[in-house]
Structures are given as structure tokens and as C-alpha cells.
Structure 1
Amino acid sequence: MTFIKENKKTVLIIAVLILAIGVLLSFALPKDKAVAKVDGEAINKDELYDVMVEQYGAATVEQLIADKIVASEAKKEKVTITDKELNEEVDKLKESYGGEEVFNQMLESNNTTVDALKDDLKNYLTIRKLLEPQIKITDEELQTYFDENKDSFGEAEQVKASHILVADEATAKEIKQKLADGADFAELAKEYSTDEGTKENGGELGFFAKGTMVTEFDDVAFTLPVNEISDPVKTDYGYHIIKVEEKKEAKEANFDDSKKEITETLIQQKMETEYSTWLEEKKKDYDIENSLESVVS
């Protein structure tokens, strides 16, 4: 989701850190207590706080002011976000990442949680509900976007397949014979496959478009009939046994089928450009005192 800026989480974390450290420095540490020492030379709490304020303070306070205004305007307009809406947005993200497993890996790699993500989503949905009534998308804009991005709305031919990858041809032939004798493909993948990313899922690759895999793999996967199992296929990665489970024909881009997706994209684009204007206008309605401005100016 393009509207939820990547640095927003960082800003919020910094805000919490500044506040938490401020409390710690004010109450927990004696005035002359060093927070660190280098060869005996102390770094005191005032130095730490000044650096944090100088580097992050202005952006953090501005973000907190914006959040307060959004919350206040949402209360005025009786805008609320339900758990159902939040869960639907999380489900959309899971789907866009290709499933719950990859989604959870994304959360872990960004050192965040579903609850933290929901906080960002709640703020995004609140802003969207406040701004959306003033956002207009014309048929001409929809058609122009479709014409300029037509290639992205078509669908290439796709195949859903699984594979078992091994290092040598002899092992591949052994697996092929076991499959011919009635062995279970998924179980053999778990036992033999050297593809750590798919073996525990029985070798499942999901759907992939023509041209995604290396040529040797692609050629077999897209010519093999559904429910058939290939002979060993040699690539630079080793020897593959491929099972084709389903196929999707190529689909040309269609404007009517794409309108919903295009509308969503244009709404997000306009929200990004109009949010700043909206916020500056709303600030005029509030008595804002920012004592940090005089500190960092």
C-alpha cells in the first residue's frame, strides 16, 4: 500500500524512544550520571537527548501533531474503523505477498508485528475515509491510466506445478520410478528435494507465468499435460521431476475487468498528493503550540 509510508513506523518508534528516554533521563538517572563512556570520557544524558531531538525531534513532533489532527477530525466526522475492516486489509496484504508464510516473514524481517501493522492500517483507513469524499475519479482518467499501463493488466499463460530437485540424474530416475510405482509426490519431495524453499510444502511452486523459470524448466512445465509427471529435467540447479497440476490460458487486458483495480490505484495516488494540502488546511482550525520549533531552529 503506497500511502502507508515506510518511514512512518520508524518515526513512531523514534517518538516512543524519545519520550521513553526523556522520562528515563528525567527521573531514573541522576543529573551527573553518564549514559555511556569512551575511554573514561562520559556521554551524559543531556548530550543524548539533544542529539535525538536535533536528528528526529522535528519530524517526530510533526507526525504526532498530524496524528492528533486526524484523530480529532475522525471524531468530528464520526469516522470509525472496525476490526472487520482491519482484518480485511491484513488479508489483502497476505494475498499480495503470496500467502501467510511469506507475509509473516515480511513482518519478521521488518521487526514488526500484526498489531503494529494494524495501527498503521487504522490510521491509513481513517485518513482514507476523511479524504475519499472529496476525491473524484473520471472515466477519462480511468481510460488514460489503462491505456498507459495496458501491459500490466493482461495475464500471461500460467502453470501451477510442483517439483522435486536433486543433485544427480540417478537419484532423479529413482524418484521417477517410485512415482510410477504409486509413491506420493509430496512425500518424496519432503524426503529427497534439495529445494529448501519448497520441500516442506511437497515441492509446490504455485502458479507462475511463462518465462519465470529457467528455459529448460519452463519448456517442460508449459508443454506437459495436466496431472502428468515429467522425466528428469536438467538445469543449472540440478535435476527436476516436475508435476503439472493446473494451467491458465493467457488473458488479454480488458478495461472493464480492470476498472476496480485502476480506481483503487488512482484513489491512493490522489490521497498521497491531497493529504498534505488537507492537513495544512486543517491545521488552521487548531491552536498548535510546538515548543520544539524554537529548540531546533
Structure 2
Amino acid sequence: MPKKLLLSIIVVLLITNIASLLLLNRESKVAVDSNNQTFSAKDAVATVNGEEIIYVDWVNSLIDSSGKKELETMIDREVVSQLANQYHIEVDEKVIQREISLLTSMQGVMTEEEFKELEEGWRDDIIYRYQLEKLLTMDVSVSEEEIQQFYNTYGNQYNFTEAMQISHILVEDMETAEKVKRELDQGASFTLLAKEYSMDEETRDNGGYIGFIHTNSQFFPNGYEDVAEGMNEYSYSEPFPVDDGVAIMYFHRKLPSIDFTYEEMKPYIESELALQQLNQSLSADPLWEQLDIEWIYGR
């Protein structure tokens, strides 16, 4: 289960559980799972050899173990959001896309739905991190010379080079490739066919998965980029000849190049260098005093 989804479930549980605690002396029912099972305060949520674990005890355990930290995280997010709006701090979409591309390139095979779910959480985290960094360093001065020197040394590391995520089935001849293609057209699994037919020992056991490869890399297979250019994402190719036989490629997705100028990266480099000067962790704690915050745990 993706961490973002798990976190959301915990948040929902905590909110509903705390709300239910306020109704302990009433018979209100609270839904606690995807099947819409409902429980009141004294209902059993589990039994062990006849011994019941009741709803309210489970709620208290959840709050004791996760409640304070989760509420603190939610407050941090709200603090940064409000202050960022107050100071008009925005994160360039280009920077967000570069971070998403980096995170995507570290993942394995995902469906479009799985990617969209992850992307939403990544986007929120990226915006939060950059806004927090800027808010923490607003009063720190960094010289133009320092920023320029840093960019000259590390500027290329902010760029992202085009990459493709691909799998393949490599066979000896066109006849075998056409047979595999017919099975694919009939709905057979690309992964299972790769395990059955592919000659590539390095990728066969992983269903033919090669991974994300930058198109300018010496390890990018010859001819595959040209074939992918005419394909839609999440589709497989016609058989095509390659150095070691005949291949059918599955084109998962493409991540385009993203390049930055000095002016585009300057504010982000400035914040990064300022944070180093402060020798401070990336925590929203110092920002709480700027807003009127009340919470059940005090401060």
C-alpha cells in the first residue's frame, strides 16, 4: 500500500475515532473500514479466545501511539501553507516536474492509476519542502557570488535528462517474434511471455523489465528509442530486428528532459545555501510562533 494512502487512512481513522470519543455516552455508530462496518464505543472490534478488545480501547491505543505525531504533521502543513500564502511563496511548476521525474525514475513498473496516486502525494510533499525551506531562510543573506559559484559547480545536477522506461522480449527469429506478438494481441501477459520466450537472461525473470534508462546512456539498447518514438505509453511494439535477434518492446513511459537556467535555479540555490548557513534541520517548528496555534497537547 502506498505510504500516502496509508497516511490518509490513519488520518481518517484518527479523526473519526476522536469524534467518536466525544460520543462515548451515546449509541452513535462510527464506520471504521472500507466495508462500512459500524461500531459504538463499547462494541468489540476483535475477540481472542472469547476475550474482547473493544472499540474505545482500540481508539485510545491509536491516539497514544500515533495521534500526537500525526496532528503535529498536519499543523506543520497548515502553518507552511498559510505562511507561504502570506509571503506569496510559490514553487515553479518546472521544479516540481523535475522532482517528480526523479522520483518516478526510481520506481518500478506502475499502472497509470498507481502513478497518478503517487504523483499527487509527491507534488504536495515537494511544494511543502520548498516552501518550508524558503520560509526558514527568509532572513538569511547569501551573496550573488556564492550562488553563482555553486551553480557553476553543481548546476548540471539540477537538470533531468530524457529517460524511457521499457521492457522487452528478445527471441531468435522473426517467426518466434510473430508468434509472441499474436499471443499478446490475444490478451496474453507481456510479463509471462517474457519469462517463457525471452533469451535475455538479465531481464527474463523480471518479465523482460529493463527499467528507466536515460536515452543518452551507453546502456540504452540500440534502435529502441526510434521504435518508442512512434508508440503510445503503456503499449507494446511490432517485432523489430536488433543486434542479438528480434525484439518486442513494451514502452511504459517517457520522462522528458528538463533544463534550468541560472535565473530559474537562483532562488532555490539561495535557500539551500542559506539553510546550510543556519545549520538547521528542515523542520517547521520555528515557524509555529508566527501564528496563533492551539492544540490539545500544548506546546
- Under a length normalisation based on structure 2, what TM-score does the superposition of the two structures give? 0.50
What secondary structure, in the 3-state scheme, does the structure 2 residue paired with 1:43 have? Answer: strand
Deviations 1:201-256 (A, max 9, x none): xxxx871412x25xxx67x99xxxxxxxx97533xxxx3569xxxxxxxxxxxxx9
For 2:230, the equivalent position in structure 1 comes to none
Is the partner of 2:78 in helix, strand or coil?
Answer: helix
Q: Secondary structure at 2:53's aligned position in 1?
A: strand
Q: State whether residues 137 and 266 of structure 1, in contact with CA within 8 Å, keep that contact through their aligned partners in structure 2.
A: yes
Match of 1:166 among 162, 167, 170: 170
Shift of 1:166: 3.1
CA gap of 1:60–1:274, structure 2 versus 1, over 3 A, is farther
* Structure 1 partner of 2:243: 233
Aligned-pair Cα RMSD in Å: 5.6
Distance 1:130 1:264, change over 3 A: closer
User: Of the two, which has the highest radius of gyration?
Assistant: 1
Which residue does the alignment assign to 1:282? 287
Distance 2:84 2:158 in 1: 35
The 1:43/1:30 distance shift into structure 2, 3 A limit, reads same
Residue number among 10, 15, 18 corresponding to 2:14 in the alignment: 18
| Residue identity matched to 1:61 | L
Q: Decide whether aligned partners of structure 1 residues 35 and 173 sit closer, same or farther in structure 2, where only a CA change above 3 A counts.
A: closer
Matches within 5 A, 1:177-192: none
- Give the residue type in structure 1 aligned to 2:170: V
Instruction: Report the Cα offset of residue 34 of structure 1.
Output: 0.9
Residues 154/165 of structure 1: CA separation in 2 closer, same or farther (3 Å cut): same
Cα distance in structure 2, aligned partners of 1:164 and 1:263: 42
Give the TM-score, by structure 1 length. 0.50
- SS of the residue 1:282 aligns to: helix
Q: CA distance change for structure 1 residues 35 and 269 in 2, over 3 Å: closer, same or farther?
A: farther
The separation in 2 between residues aligned to 1:98 and 1:286, in whole angstroms, is 35
Aligned residues: 234
- Could you tell me which residue of structure 1 aligns to residue 48 of structure 2? 38
Superposed CA offset, 1:48-88 (max 9, x none): 122212221121121222233334434544x376xxx7865
SS at match of 2:287: helix
1:207 is aligned to 215
Q: Is the 8 A contact 1:97 1:103 kept in 2?
A: no
Q: Which residue of 2 aligns with 1:292?
A: 297
Q: 1:108 aligns with which of 105, 114, 126?
A: 114
Contact 1:107 1:114 in 2 (8 A): no
Q: CA deviation at 1:44?
A: 1.1
Structure 1's unaligned 5+ residue stretches are 1-5, 179-186, 199-204, 222-229, 243-255
In 1, are the aligned partners of 2:45 and 2:55 still within 8 Å (CA)?
yes
The answer to whether the Cα contact below 8 Å between 2:79 and 2:288 also exists between their aligned partners in 1 is yes
Where does the alignment leave 5 or more consecutive residues of structure 2 unmatched?
A: 30-38, 199-206, 225-239, 249-259
| Alpha-carbon distance in 2 for matches of 1:73, 1:102 | 36
Which amino acid letter does the alignment assign opposite residue 17 of structure 2? I
Aligned in 2, Cα 1:265/1:241: closer, same or farther, shift over 3 Å? Answer: farther
Q: Structure 1 counterpart of 2:12, which letter?
A: V
**Which letter maps to 2:72?**
E
Amino acid at match of 2:215: F
Aligned residues of 1:232 and 1:241 also touching (Cα < 8 A):
yes
Question: CA-to-partner distance for each residue in 1:242-280, whole Å, 9 max, x for gaps?
Answer: 9xxxxxxxxxxxxx9778558645635756978868844
Query: Is the 1:166–1:240 contact (alpha carbons within 8 Å) kept by the matching residues of 2?
Result: yes
Correspondence for 1:246: none
Q: Which residue in the other structure is 2:251 paired with?
A: none
Q: Using a 3 Å threshold, how does the CA distance of structure 1 residues 142 and 46 change in structure 2: closer, same or farther?
A: farther
* Cα distance between partner residues in 1 of 2:293 and 2:158: 46
1:21 positional shift:
2.9
Amino acid at match of 1:167: V
2-side partners of 1:104 and 1:90: how far apart?
Answer: 20
Structure with the largest fraction of helix = 1
